[in-house]
Structures are given as structure tokens and as C-alpha cells.
Amino acid sequence: MSNEKGPDHSRRKERSRQAILAAARALIAEEAYEKVTVEAIAARAGVGKQTIYRRWPSKSAVVFAALLALSEGVDGQSVALPDTGDLEADLKAVMRATAQEFADPSFDRLIRALNTEIANDAVLAAEYREKLAQPLDEAKKARLRGAQAVGQLRTDADLDLVLEVLYAPLFQRWLHRSGPLDAAYADSLVAVTLRAFAP
Amino acid sequence: MSNEKGPDHSRRKERSRQAILAAARALIAEEAYEKVTVEAIAARAGVGKQTIYRRWPSKSAVVFAALLALSEGVDGQSVALPDTGDLEADLKAVMRATAQEFADPSFDRLIRALNTEIANDAVLAAEYREKLAQPLDEAKKARLRGAQAVGQLRTDADLDLVLEVLYAPLFQRWLHRSGPLDAAYADSLVAVTLRAFAP
Amino acid sequence: MSNEKGPDHSRRKERSRQAILAAARALIAEEAYEKVTVEAIAARAGVGKQTIYRRWPSKSAVVFAALLALSEGVDGQSVALPDTGDLEADLKAVMRATAQEFADPSFDRLIRALNTEIANDAVLAAEYREKLAQPLDEAKKARLRGAQAVGQLRTDADLDLVLEVLYAPLFQRWLHRSGPLDAAYADSLVAVTLRAFAP
Amino acid sequence: MSNEKGPDHSRRKERSRQAILAAARALIAEEAYEKVTVEAIAARAGVGKQTIYRRWPSKSAVVFAALLALSEGVDGQSVALPDTGDLEADLKAVMRATAQEFADPSFDRLIRALNTEIANDAVLAAEYREKLAQPLDEAKKARLRGAQAVGQLRTDADLDLVLEVLYAPLFQRWLHRSGPLDAAYADSLVAVTLRAFAP
DNA sequence: TGATAACCGAGACGGTACGTCCGGTCTTAGC
DNA sequence: GCTAAGACCGGACGTACCGTCTCGGTTATCA
């Protein structure tokens, strides 16, 4: 009953879609962002430009889709914060890992590109929040709720605020390159956050 | 009487320089950033394109210079945080004012443009830190040191970290449009920060 | 019989090509040559600049092509000198007509532009000779050969030289504006030439 | 003694004037004409651009002046055609020499530049005729008048026409590169002319 | 000898056009 | 019937010169 159109058809579409997004990601990861052009993406993906414009309305949209797809398959489960029972230890592990991710130049370029698109386009920003940020935040907040339940965190804490206090300094320091992103820094952010929201 | 350097010459140079920077700022403030072109800046400033390219190596550089010049004349004095003796009240006043600034669409566009340039160019980021961010931060830290002296803030607090905890959440929420920037939010950031770094 | 190549495609290409050449000719005919710009040609033709640069390597080349195309379709038949049997009368008619053509300011500007391009570029000069000058000369020489056959011209006359003696003085006088180009002058060139190459 | 203005003063002016004209000629002789710029002339002459524009109203005018100055000092005497009593021999000598001059690439470029300026500017053309062409032609016509007196040339020949028939074919062939400029060609032009204007 | 004016070299300036590049649309040939 | 290829329009890029304007530093004359 299901697939009304030919299966090859759908698969063909999907294959070119993936090729385009992969090409976009590859180019962003390896080159200065402003050198990433639709023509280069099409060429790298072995695809005509029209095939890109058939699916996305603008260069920004393709790039953004490519970056969103980075985290495709991410769900509450897969990104759930570890839960060893020790909130501080769990947060430190996560923050250290996060800090380390930014050390990878490719990842760095990808996330900078993503932030550039988001910062300058409210529509993309909304899509980003809905598809990426909120699911991730929900997973994190689930862990925090657990901590509240066992008295490791103020019961009345605004969990969005907790996440901001925890992550935003790291994000800002990375975006502005205003300081080192090392384990000590990650730890101190956890410490500060826990002190601020201690029960 | 004074003017030691050639007066007309320097004045001419300076006048065109200011005209260029003002034109750039005006265009950024009133149009979508990607529509700001060197040609438009030159036309608005009543200047040849070459006069722009003689001084700055690229469009990014002009735009960045224009944005840096926004805060020209800013010094420790002029941006010093108020000091009424009540740290919490002072910080709340400052944070509320900061949050309000972002409500102005022109200011919003200017700062987004600035952040876009900074985020994608390490050299500009360094210049930004040196010329703008650090002086401002120093002024703020001076107030915090006063607070430490009178026992309103932990003596061993890392003041850079204090500023990050205070400002980064606001910055991130603004950049990602992930929530309202109202007085309540400003207040809560102050509250959190003071709790985290209470003596 | 019909169009072997893709019809629409060729037609599109051909249409824009003709629009460009027509725009170039129109501009040359109506303005001082040095004011003819590629941008103006593109605008007048309703074409992007790149469409011009895709086909021709430089402004000179477009202009030259436009001027060559002036005489497209010209062949031995269409430009054959009249043949009433009276060589002197035929040549006088042709020379008077030629002299008059130069009186038209548009034509004058076009031919001056053509000569400027040719004079300063050996490659264009070769193309001009092959595509324009030689076919025209052949047609003229055919008439002269007829005259030789009926004893109105020396049998051993170098026909290229005959044409030069006939036309070059007119050409030089026009190019240097060194004298009037009237019917009397046309007639005297014919008279001189016939005397020089009388049997 | 005489010199009313300061002698050094005049000499300074004259020196820079000569430097400019020499630089212009040198550049025209060695480079493609369209690459000759006022800036290059000024630099080569060791002179400010303003010094050029103080004296000539436009680039064309400088270039033209430089080319006219090529023949400075030329007068009726110095360019008089040889007069051995044998008109044919004298003309052949002159025409062969003329043809040879064009073989020098530098000379070729200079004369092409001169013709380009003349062809596109009626004012410069008039100046050229008055200052260069007519004096030279007068010298040549003096020789022809001598030939008329001794019965080597028709008494009623229009001497301007004689000169045109003699020179214009060579000029056109050179300008259009439509054939070799060798001694045989020079000779045949003389032969044709003498036949056309034989008494 | 020192002051003062004329002049020059250097080169920045407002403009205009160059030839290139790319975004987004449209056409064509081929699978 | 959709695709890869790529031409097309539009318009910004950064560069090169034009002809003008300003500057600082000689020169050149006269006190």
C-alpha cells in the first residue's frame, strides 16, 4: 500500500539529498565559510544547481539544513546526560566533553557556520530551536529534574536558566575566542552553577 | 593654533574616514546585513570605492572598523558601572539597561553584524577583544573589586568568570532569540550570579 | 534540411548574440567611441555582462564583432560592382556612393571605430581582411577582370594595386579629414586610376 | 641677459616638458598603446601627474604632443625631397625609405598611436595637418613643381592628388597590414603615379 | 643669509569602467 | 519525468586609471 511512487524514485531523491548535505558539510568543514558556494556544493555533490534550488529556497537554507542534519537521529535517549547519581561528576564529564568538541577545527567551522546563519535569520533560528536546541535541552533538563528529586538542585530552579548559566559562558568564550576552553574551565562552570542553584 | 600635522590634509582624510564609517553604520542599522555593499557605503559616504580599499583590505574590515568606532571614546571612566554601594541594585540597573539596548532594531542589527564578523575571523576577534571587550570588562571588574572589598562578593572569585556568568546567558539568549530579554530575566541573572559568588 | 542543433537553445543564444551586437552598433553609432562601455552594451541589450564575456574575450573583440556583423550576409553577388559595360561610369558611380556613405555621421563613427580596432590589433586586422575586405575586393576585382577582357584596363595590371590606387586616397582623406569627399574628388580618382592602368 | 623670466626657471619647465614627451614616446614605442597611462608617463618622467595636466588638457593631448614633437625641427629644408633631376629615381628612393621606416616596430607603434588619436579627434587631426602634414607636403610639392617645370609631370596635375596617389596606398596597406611593404611595392607606386600624371 | 613666494613630486581623492564571481532562474539533452 | 549541466540576468567584488586637489619640500628671488 505504502510507497506510491517507485521505490527507486524515492531512493534516488534521498541519495541526492544526502549527497548535497554531505557536500555542504564537507565544504564548510574544510574551507573558510565565505568560500562555500552553491556552485561548489552542487559540483561536489555531482548534482545540478537546480536540484538544490528545487528543495531549498536559498543558500542559507541548504547550509542550515546540512548543519541541522549533523544531529539527525539525535533524540532524548541518545543525548541524555549520564546519570551516575552524582550530578556534579556527570555535569563535569559532559562539560569537559563539550569543551573538547570545539577543539576539532572541522567541528568548530561547522558550528560557527551554523551560528552565523542562526544569528542573522530569525526563521532559521526558530527552526534551530525547535529541531535541535529544545530536544537537546529537554534531555538535559530531564537529568536536572532527577537531581532536583534527590535534593542535589533547588526545587524551584528555572531549569532553562540553569542550562544557560552552565553553557552560555562556554559558548560565548568559544564564539569570541576570549579564553581557553579546558577541563578546569569546564569544571569551574559546573561548580559555579551548582553553587548558584544549590538547594 | 595647535595642529602639528598638516591641518587640511589630515582633516580631509579624517573627514572621509568618518563619512565612510558613518555610512557603513547607517546602512547596517537600516538594512539586512547582507545587503550592505561596499558600493553602497561609498555612495552614501560620497567617496570613491578606492578610498575605502586604500584604508581597509576588505569589506569585513570596513564593517568591523565601523562597528568598533561605535564605541570610540569609550574608556574606563565613561563605562564604569554605577556604584551606589549596593552591588545588587547596581548590577540590576546595568543588566536591565543592557537588555533594553537590544530591543532597538538598529542596535540589534549593528551588534549582530559585529558578532558575525568576529565569529568568523580570529584576527578581528582579537582586535575586538583588545579594543572593546577588555576595556569594558576592566571597568566592570573595577566595580566588582570594590564589592569584594566590602564583602559583597567572594574574595577569591575569578572576576572574568563572574562577568561571563552574568552576561553570557543574556548574550546567548539574544543571539539565538531563545527567550525574552526583560527586566525579570535581567534581575534573575544578577540574583544567580550573586548567589554563585556570594562570600 | 532543418535545424540539426537544438532549436530553442540555438535560438536563445542567437537572440542574445544579436541583441549584444545590435546594442554595440547602436551605441557606437550614436556616441563618442570612448564612451561605449561593456556595461552600456549589456544594459542596452538586456543582457548580463557575463554573457558578453562568455563569448568574447574583451571589449575590443565585441566591438569588432559588432562591426564585422554590419556586413554579414555580404557576398560576391550582393556587393558586385555594377556592370553597364562602361568601366569609367561604373567606377564613378561606386566611388561617388562610397564618398557619400562617409557623410553619414553614424556610419562615419562605426567605420572609425572599426579602423581603430584594426589598426591596433594584428589579429583583428587579419580577421577583418579575411571576413570583410577580401570578399569585397574579390567582387570588385571580378568587375575589373571583365574590363580587362574588353580592353578597358591593362591586361597585366595588378588588380590589388588598382583597387588601392582607387580607394586608398579616399580612405586616407577621410581618415585624416584632409580634404573634401565630393563627387568631383570621386571622379578624379577614377580618372587617375584609369589613366594609370589604361591599356 | 635676454631671457626675461629666470633662466633656470624656464630651463626647469623645459626639462620637465621634454622628460614628459620623451617618456610618453618611450612608452608608446615599447608597449601596447592601450597600456600607456598618464600615471606611467608621469612615473617614467619623474614628474607629478599635475605637471602633465598643467600643460595639456587630456591624455590624448599629451600623447599627440609627444608624437608631434617626434618631428620637431622638421622644416621645408630638412625634409625636401632629393632632386637629382630624375623624378622617378628620386621618388623611388623616397618611397623605399618610407616603406622601410614602417618596419621598425617602435616607429610603427608610434605612428599607429598618432593615427589613432587623429582618426578619433577632429581637433587633433587639424593640428596634425597644420603642424606636420602640410609642411611635409609642401616640401614634396616643391619637388613636384620642379618636375612639372622640366616636363616630367603634367602641368595641370593637382599636386595634392599626386601625393595621395603616391602615398595613400602605402599608408593603407600599412595601417591594415594588407600586404608587404617592400621595395618592389614602393617602385610600383611610383610607376603608377608617374603613368597617371605623365605629361 | 634669511625670508617669502613660486613651483614641483608625490600621491590621495571622487568617479567610472573594467573583467570576475556567484546567487538564483531557466533551458536543454539525456537517462 | 526528472536529472546533470550549464547558460542566463543581475549585481557586487576588488583593481586600474582618469583628471582634480592638497601637501610638504625644494628653488629662486629679493631683503
Residue D135 sits in the same domain as residue D162: yes
Q: Is residue A163 part of a domain?
A: yes
Which residues from the 17-46 window of protein chain A have CB within 7 angstroms of nucleic acid chain F?
43, 46
Q: How far apart are CA A109 and CA C135, in angstroms?
A: 63
Of A23, A54, A69, which one is at a domain's C-terminal end?
A69
B→A contacts (Cβ < 8 Å), by residue, are: 33-34, 112, 115-116, 118-120, 122, 125-126, 128-129, 133, 158, 160-161, 164-165, 167-169, 171-173, 175-179, 188-189, 192-193, 195-197
**CA distance to A19, C187, D129, per residue, from C165 (Å):** 71, 13, 22
Indicate if D63 and D99 belong to the same structural domain.
Answer: no
Contact C120, D33 (CB under 8 A): yes
In this prediction, residue C71 carries a pLDDT of: 75
Terminal Cα-to-Cα distance of chain B (whole angstroms): 56
My answer on whether B80 and B123 are in the same domain is yes
Question: Which residues contact residue C128 at a Cβ distance below 8 angstroms, ignoring those fewer than 6 apart?
Answer: C64, C68, C114, C118, D176
Contact A101, A170 (CB under 8 A): no
Query: Does some domain include residue D187?
Result: yes
Between chain A and chain B, the number of residue pairs with CB atoms below 8 A apart is: 101
Span CA (A44) to C1' (F5), Å: 13
- On whether both D25 and D87 belong to a single domain, the answer is no
A16 contact to strand F (CB, 7 A limit): yes
Q: How many structural domains compose chain B?
A: 2
**For A177, left (φ over 0), alpha (ψ -120 to 50), or beta?**
left
How large is the angle between the packed helices C38-45 and C7-30, nearest 10 degrees? 130
Chains C and B touch (3+ CB pairs under 8 A): no
**What size, in residues, is chain C?**
199
The gap between the terminal CA atoms of chain C, to the nearest Å, is 49
Beta-strand ranges (E) seen in C41-188 are none
Q: How confident is the model at residue A2 (pLDDT cuts 50, 70, 90)?
A: very low
Q: Are residues B51 and B82 in the same domain?
A: no
In-domain check, residue B137: yes
Cβ atoms < 10 Å from Cβ of C186: 22
pLDDT at D4: 39
Domain that holds residue C29: 7-59
Say which CATH number the domain at A33 has.
1.10.10.60
Q: Are B115 and A120 in contact (CB under 8 A)?
A: no
Q: Which pLDDT band holds residue A13 (cuts at 50, 70, 90)?
A: confident
Q: Is residue B2 part of a domain?
A: no
Residues B118 and B161 in one domain: yes
Residue nearest to nucleotide E26 (CA to C1'): A50
Same domain flag for C98 and C127: yes
Site of grid cell 547519581 = A85
CA distance A63 to A45: 13
SS3 at position D199: coil
For residues A20 and A110, membership in a common domain is answered with: no
What average pLDDT does range C95-117 have in this prediction? 94
CA distance D41 to chain C (A): 20
Q: What cell does D124 get?
A: 587633433
Residue A87 lies in a domain: yes
Is the pLDDT score of A97 beyond 60?
yes
C-alpha cell at D120: 578619433
* Domain co-membership, B140 together with B59: no
pLDDT at A1 over 90: no
- The cell 577583544 sits on which residue? B129
Check whether D22 has a pLDDT greater than 60: yes
- The pLDDT score that the predictor gives to residue C73 is 61
What's the pLDDT score for residue B146? 95
Looking at D25, D41, D69, the residue that finishes a domain is D69
Nearest to B119 among A32, A112, A168 (CB): A112
Q: What's C160's domain CATH number?
A: 1.10.357.10
Share the mean pLDDT of chain B: 90
What single string gives the DSSP state of each residue in A122-185? HHHHHHHIIIIIHHHHHHHHHHHHHHHHTTSS-TT--HHHHHHHHHHHHHHHHHHT-S---HHH
Position with higher pLDDT, A163 vs A30? A163
Q: Give backbone dihedrals phi and psi of B126, rounded to 5 degrees, phi first.
A: -65, -45
Per-residue pLDDT reduced to its tens digit, D91-108:
999 999 999 999 999 999
A96 shares its domain with A186: yes
Q: Is the pLDDT of residue D3 over 60?
A: no
Of these ranges, A121-125, B186-190, D80-84, the one predicted with the greatest mean pLDDT is B186-190
**CA–CA separation, D127 and D107 (whole Å):** 20
> Does residue A11 sit within a domain?
yes
Q: What pLDDT digit, counting tens, does each position of B41-51 carry?
A: 999 999 999 99
DSSP state of C35: G
Res B6 pLDDT > 60:
no
C177 → chain D, closest CA residue: D125
**What's the average model confidence in pLDDT over B117-122?**
91
DSSP helix/strand/coil, D80 = coil
By C1' distance from the Cα of D6, the closest nucleotide is F28
Task: Report in angstroms the alpha-carbon separations of A85 from A88, A96, B98.
Answer: 9, 18, 39
C-alpha A52/C-alpha A45 separation (Å) is 10
Q: Is residue D1 part of a domain?
A: no
Q: Residue D9, CA: closest nucleotide via C1'?
A: F28
* pLDDT of res. A3: 41
- Cα(C151)–Cα(C197) distance, rounded to whole angstroms? 11
In a domain, C93, yes or no: yes
B145 and B125 within one domain: yes
> Which residue in chain B has the smallest CA separation from A158?
B188
Check whether residue B161 and residue B184 sit in a common domain: yes
Which of D46, D69, D92 is where one domain is finished?
A: D69
Whether B90 contacts B84, CB under 8 Å: yes
The number of residues in chain A equals: 199
pLDDT in tens, B82-109: 899 999 999 999 999 999 999 999 999 9
d(CA B57, nearest CA chain A) in Å: 16
